[in-house]
Amino acid sequence: MSILEIHVLGSPILREVTTPVAQVTDDLRRLIDDMFETMYAANGVGIAAPQVGRSERITVIDVGQGPIALVNPEIVSSGGGTQRGEEGCLSIPEIYGDVERAAEVTVRALNAQGEPFEVTGTELLARCLQHEIDHLHGRLFIDYLSLLKRRSAMSKWEKLKKDFPGNRRTVSAQEVAEHATKPDEEL
Exposed/middle/buried for 181, CB within 10 Å: 0-12, 13-18, 19+? exposed
Which one of the listed residues 56, 104, 132, 186 is annotated catalytic? 132
User: How would you classify the pairing of strands 116-122 and 97-110?
Assistant: antiparallel
Edge-first strand order for the sheet with 58-61 is: 46-48, 58-61, 68-87, 97-110, 116-122
Cβ atoms of residues 96 and 86 within 8 Å: yes
CB-based contacts of 115: which residues, under 8 Å, 6+ apart?
none
Exposed/middle/buried for 173, CB within 10 Å: 0-12, 13-18, 19+? exposed
Active site residue 132: yes
Q: What are phi and psi of 16, to 5 degrees?
A: -95, 150
Residues with a known catalytic role: 132
